Amino acid sequence: MAASPHFRPESSALVLIDHQVGTIQLIQNEITPDIAIRNAVLLGEAALAYEMPIVMTSSQEDHVQGPLHPALQKALPEAYAARVKRAGIVNAWTDLNFVKAIEKTGRRQLIMAAVTTDICLVFPAISAVEAGYEVLAVMDACGTDTQIGEEMSRRRMERAGVWLTSTNTMVAELVQDWSTPPGILLVQAMTAISPMLPVDWIRA
């Protein structure tokens, strides 16, 4: 494992795997489906703010997994239109079209999120590390149906060299300075997710 990597906009690509309307209903660990989707959208907004490449993929959209979530379709229309539609391959990294899409970005740092953690994320994240990429898994934009499945996947990824983080930490790492135009935009998006007291009321 590399020592303390810093993921930067100019060297990173965002990879969103299988945030589909069917699969997200399986999320039952400490993350809810709504939180996972909101965070995936926020990651997408951060990628757009810094003009980072975005790779999206789905599995068997015409089956129980369903289409990619409408919120992602709306927030990331170009990435959605260019998504890699897998016929049923479990490990997205073994899909040649997916790997080609990753290689096309020209980036060696991959910021990944997927549903579910224990199937859709763990395998491509580890495979990407084996292929020489640095991988950061954003755990609150993921989720699975059991806490043990989530925990075992996290342990396995860490042992294989995948870095784990949360959405807010990832966004802050990309921003570095909230006073920049992207920083102003993204801090507003972050604070819009959680209820907050009015600033005027706090100052009073």
Does pTM surpass 0.85?
Answer: yes
Each residue's pLDDT, cut to its tens digit, for the chain (204 residues) gives 445 579 999 999 999 999 999 999 999 988 999 999 999 999 999 999 999 999 999 999 999 999 999 999 999 999 999 999 999 999 999 999 999 999 999 999 999 999 999 999 999 999 999 999 999 999 999 999 999 999 999 999 999 999 999 999 999 999 999 999 999 999 988 887 665 555 554 444
| Residues 194, 141: Cα–Cα separation, whole Å | 15
pLDDT of residue 198: 58
Q: Which single residue is written with the structure tokens 């539609």?
A: 85
**Residue spans of alpha helices (H) in 64-146:** 70-75, 77-81, 96-105, 122-130
Annotated catalytic residue: which of 120, 126, 129, 171? Answer: 120
Residue spans per domain, the chain: 11-191
Q: What is the dihedral of CA 24, 76, 129, 22, to 10 degrees?
A: 20
**What residues form DSSP beta bridges with 137?**
112, 164
Is 142 noted as a catalytic residue in this protein? Answer: no
Q: Does domain 11-191 have CATH number 3.30.470.10?
A: no
